[in-house]
Amino acid sequence: MKNLSFFLFSAVILGISAFDTCPRESCEDSCKNRCGKKLDKSYGCQCNPHCERFGDCCKDYHLCLYADPSSNEVIQPIDEPENSCKGKCGKKYNKKDSCHCNKKCVKFNNCCPDYDTLCGGGDKDAANSEATSSHSHNKNKGKDISNEEIKAMSEKIYELDENRAEDSDIILNKQNAAERTGNKEDLCDEPLYKYVNEEILSRPTYKAFIELTNNYVRKTGTDEEYTPEEIKEQEHFLKEIMKTKLMKELYMFFHKKEMYKTEKEFVDDLQKMWFGLYSRSSGEADSSGFEHVFVGEVKKGKVSGFHSWIRFYLLEKEGLMDYYSYNYDGPWTSYPDVLGKQFHWDGFFKEVGSQFIGSSPEFDFSLYSLCFISRPGKLCKIRLGGHELGIQTYEWTKSTYPNGKKYIATAYPVVSTSM
């Protein structure tokens, strides 16, 4: 398995510049250590969001979009998280905001995940002590789990994914890479998936996953309501994935940390955090973590979420998915791999989206759950096959389920150049 440096060097040969091609701290024609920096005319190209508008981005600017959000190279997240207090501390309540950044948010348990960090903490008023305690408990969830334990656990999940695709099961046709993602240019005439061995889709966990994907209306603002049959499908999916070695290993990991007493308690919590409905739009219960992450949504005319390769393949097969280009291809030479790409979903554009490719449904579900439970609302550093990357999760903060727990807002792979 080639290492990341070799991959990036190879990418240059193919015409896709990467940070490792620049040997110095910063170079005139590279975004190395310059992602998000203000205009600097001493450089021949720029590395901030404005460069796409003015057409002066460095050739490796697309890698900034996949930088580690905790590093100096971050300029924007891959998804469209709206739940941040950046520039909003003390702002009055606005029902259109997904979370809030004033003292009352502690009382109503709807603060943005970075409220404490950016706005100086919660309300000290005694009347709010109970809410503050609940907020702090949720915020501290998983704090006794070290980064190394998470990396070791993610490697176990990677090793135990017996349902992953083999090299011969999937043939990708990546075609052309995009240097600029915002111009919505279709650089690929052919589908992304040249071949998929559909026998793997008939495996129990795949089949149970696919049955869930038609239970949602993709446009936010449209009320969702589960039928008894759909709830049974959720329970069936959880039952099937809990039969796998990797999900049993994940439960034991949290059980040893005394976070769940029984497997039933663990599964019940997964069902609430992933499938619990909440409102992303106009007060309707129109969304859930599962729908956003795995099925995909459309909000304000753009694709939001959508991080499942299985879902992508099936829609592409139906003629509803138009693959535009890719701008990141991970260093893994077997599956699971990570691919960042641009696409149109039945008329709606996704500018920057990342997905694991060739992974089983339980693999994606377990990694995202590991990180959401251990590092809710933060970058979670994991390791797969010796290569490190991140999983970014965000909590839904406008509503909670029993015991003040937060729903999953989103989760997706984040590629770092500095891990």
- Catalytic sites, residue numbers: 292, 307, 350
Check whether residue 28 and residue 101 sit in a common domain.
Answer: no
pLDDT recorded at residue 2:
39
Residue 184: what pLDDT?
Answer: 83
Task: Let me know whether 23 and 132 are in one domain.
Answer: no
Residues 152 and 301 grouped into a single domain: yes
**Which pLDDT score, from 0 to 100, does residue 56 have?**
78
Look at residue 208 and tell me if it is in a domain. yes
Q: From 124, 140, 156, give the residue that closes a domain.
A: 140
Residue 72 domain flag: no
pLDDT on residue 182: 74
Helix/strand/coil (H/E/C) assignment for every residue in the chain: CCCHHHHHHHHHHCCCCCHHHCCCCCCCCCCCCCCCCCCCCCCCCECCCHHHHHCCECCCHHHHHHCCCCCCCCCCCCCCCCCCCCCCCCCCCCCCCCCECCCHHHHHCCECCCHHHHHCCCCCCHHHHHHHHHHHHHHCCCCCCCHHHHHHHHHHHHHHCCCCCCHHHEEECCCCECCCCCCCCCCCCCCCEEEECHHHHHCHHHHHHHHHCCCCCCECCCCCCCCHHHHHHHHHHHHHHCCCHHHHHHHHHHHHCCCCCCHHHHHHHHHHHHHCCECCCCCCCCECHHHHHHHCEEECCEEECCCEHHHHHHHHHHCCEEEEEEEEECCCCCCCEEEEEEEEECCEEEEEEEEEECCCHHHHHHHHHHHHHHCCCCEEEEEECCEEEEEEEEEEEEEEEHHHEEEEEEEEEECCCCC
Q: What is the pTM of this model?
A: 0.72
Pair (167, 108) in one structural domain: no
Tell me what pLDDT residue 397 has.
Answer: 85
Number of domains in the chain: 3
Same-domain pairing of 228 and 314? yes
Is residue 226 assigned to a domain? Answer: yes
Q: What is the mean pLDDT of each run of 10 residues along the chain (419 residues)?
A: 41 37 60 78 80 72 54 38 70 75 76 72 35 39 83 98 97 91 87 97 98 88 87 97 98 96 97 93 82 92 93 96 92 94 92 93 98 94 94 90 91 68
What pLDDT score does 27 carry?
67
pLDDT at 141: 56
